[in-house]
Structure 1
Amino acid sequence: MSDDNPPPTLAVDSPATECPVVQETESGQKLLQFLQRRLNLPQAMLHRWVRTGQVRINGGRCKPFSRVQAGDTVRLPPFAIRMSAQCDSALPEPVREARSDKDPASAPPLPPLVGTSGYLWAFDKPAGLPTHPGTGHEDSLTTRLAQHFSEASFMPTPVHRLDRETSGILLVAASYAALDEAQRALRGQHMVKEYVAWITGRWPHEETCLVRHFLRKDSVRGFEKMCAVSADAPEGKEALCLVRPIQVEDGASLVQIRLLTGRTHQIRAQLSNLGYPVLGDAKYGTGRPGTALYLHALRMVLPESQAFTSLPAWTGQRALRSLPEPIDCGATLASPSAPQCGVFPLGDDGATISLLH
């Protein structure tokens, strides 16, 4: 493993034992989660074992939602290990194959490691590498992690996802506690997520703007797509971001985006709805499949203010050679009135409305 990647120093405890010991990386999980990760058996079966006393923590009876702590000994039924070996169909085949590979040296390399914070790792994911395996692609960050850390008691897990063709900062948790804490921070909007993108056309605003839509997943010509809907539309979810221009040209503009909500394809859908799709976007713009998508996760700032950053690997006239300053959200950010969507330039007197539909 190269110096750019984290060493596989996670605590190891063989899962093939009737009395596994809870490792530090597994601490804090509900018992059912612990059993599912260790055994990969149906939840109903595990629930029944716990309810009938066949599973115990430190020799005592327990409940399915009891929390396990580092050092706890969990007693399993004598047939659990054999059943686990015979029942791994719940895992995607690429992950299952990756976990069976005990030689990390034969695995594809992990992306460069940008930084760490305890059991939280920040990788610089390249464009073209999916976060998870799926139809038509077996290679992914998840399967590579499974191969590199096949002996770890808790397999490092992506905290969030980036689209396959989106590059940049992606967080991975190497312990359950780190995963839970980071996902809570994301849901509570306590992390800063900034992107840069080249968009089609000349962005018409010189100042930072608030962009607001309501998005809903719909079927368009047989494909799922995030579409802008009215504020009162069923299942519509508010999408907010701040956009600041970095370089504006007649044919294309480089903008910096700070997400205020985390919706699927949010940046691509919102910018496209305004008439400024991301360059190379075949789903929401006019790009052709296989062309480079000029969208990059530039910066993530943890609640304790530690920041992870990376510049995109764009070259030529699209290159970004220096890190732009963070977008200041401010404590007095004015919200647009309830039913309106569009672009709201931020001024001294609050947000002023400028619809760009």
Structure 2
Amino acid sequence: MQRLSVAEDGDGQRLDNYLAKTLKGVPRSALHRIIRSGEVRVNRGRAAADTRLALGDELRLPPVRTADRSDAPAAPPREFPVVFEDEQLLAIDKPAGVAVHGGSGVAFGVIEQLRRARPDARFLELVHRLDRETSGLLLLAKKRSALVRLQDQFRARETGKVYAALVAGHWPARLKVIDVPLHKYLDADGERRVRVAHADDGGGQRSITLVKVAHAYAEHTLLDVTIKTGRTHQIRVHLAQAGHPIVGDDKYGDFAANHAIARGSYLPGLRFERMFLHARRLAFDHPADGRRIELEAALPGDCSRLLAHLGDPY
């Protein structure tokens, strides 16, 4: 057994995130498995993945096998388009296809690349996360106090997050609220998946998504989506279960339609090889002075080109 005492860099972190940082090379699926089984103890008691750690907490961990990272490539230094930055925080426009952090088969992500690009930064941590294939606004804290205050806002749902999503078919304008519980599970390959919770799931979490039609096209609809709860894959699963999967979604979307758009057979002259989900707006209270910050990130060029190829909206 391994025993750890939480230092200042772990104060306020979720248990699963702390373990991912501490036990480098262990897949997140394995970390969640040992947490669920009760093998991880915090101050001698069982804890959940979202348990917030405090300075001085005592952790007991079971033996785990870490991947050999001696030959793993170091994260290359990389800066990302900056939307807002001051001494407290950094907001970037994350491109699609880039993970926010390493793990689960990904050698490195945004946070590792930014730390390499900013070797003098004393503190730099993710405030929240975006799926690898989701582009748009991503918030990072440059001070521990800022991280705690911003994460408190996210947990209390005091932030405003709006996503642009292009979905298949004609979204019914009357469908503005999706209040459907979701259940997380691991598939046969150990991949994290989410489904609509059944009555016998027990672990289903209430999940609320607000949907507004931005533009309607001949065979697609561009939506503004606001999430009131921050569940894993929430937007993707909610829109798919409503019968309108996100274009390019390789987990919950229409494989044949995605393939046709990706290879250019659906729209001649255009290949679209990503998921059309973009975090376009983020609002929060500044962690230092409380002023309301509202940030915008324009649609990426590939998304704008796809919309132009769909013709005039109506």
Deviation of the 1:32 alpha carbon = 3.5
CA distance in 2, matches of 1:192, 1:95: 38
2:139 match: secondary structure = strand
The code of the aligned residue for 1:218 comes to Y
Deviation of the 1:228 alpha carbon = 0.3
For structure 1, list consecutive stretches of 5 or more residues without a partner in the other structure: 1-30, 48-62, 66-88, 99-106, 321-357
CA distance in 2, matches of 1:113, 1:213: 35
CA distance in 2, matches of 1:134, 1:108: 18
Partner of 1:256: 224
2:291 is equivalent to residue 299 of structure 1: no
Partner of 1:213: 180
CA distance in 1, matches of 2:69, 2:137: 25
CA distance in 1, matches of 2:125, 2:239: 30
The code of the aligned residue for 2:121 comes to A
Report the identity percentage.
30
CA distance in 2, matches of 1:284, 1:93: 35
Task: Decide whether the 8 Å contact of 2:79 with 2:113 is kept in 1.
Answer: yes
Partner of 2:40: none
Q: Could you state the TM-score of these two structures normalised by the residue count of structure 1? A: 0.59
1:138 match: secondary structure = coil
CA distance in 1, matches of 2:306, 2:22: 52
Q: Could you state the TM-score of these two structures normalised by the residue count of structure 2? A: 0.67
- Give 1:64's match in structure 2, choosing from 56, 63, 68: 56
Partner of 2:248: 280
CA distance in 2, matches of 1:265, 1:257: 13
CA distance in 2, matches of 1:112, 1:282: 26
1:315 match: secondary structure = helix
- Give 2:136's match in structure 1, choosing from 159, 164, 168: 168
CA distance in 2, matches of 1:93, 1:312: 39
CA distance in 2, matches of 1:141, 1:93: 21
Task: Decide whether the 8 Å contact of 1:95 with 1:146 is kept in 2.
Answer: no
- Give 1:197's match in structure 2, choosing from 158, 165, 174: 165
Q: CA RMSD in A?
A: 3.3
- Give 1:308's match in structure 2, choosing from 269, 288, 295: 295
CA distance in 1, matches of 2:71, 2:170: 43
Given the superposition, is the C-alpha separation of residues 250 and 221 from structure 1 closer, same or farther in structure 2, using an over 3 Å criterion? farther
Partner of 1:145: 114
CA distance in 1, matches of 2:165, 2:113: 27
Number of paired residues?
Answer: 237
For structure 2, list consecutive stretches of 5 or more residues without a partner in the other structure: 12-20, 24-42, 44-54, 58-65, 263-272, 286-290, 310-314
- Give 2:212's match in structure 1, choosing from 244, 250, 270: 244
- Give 2:6's match in structure 1, choosing from 32, 35, 40: 32
CA distance in 1, matches of 2:71, 2:136: 23
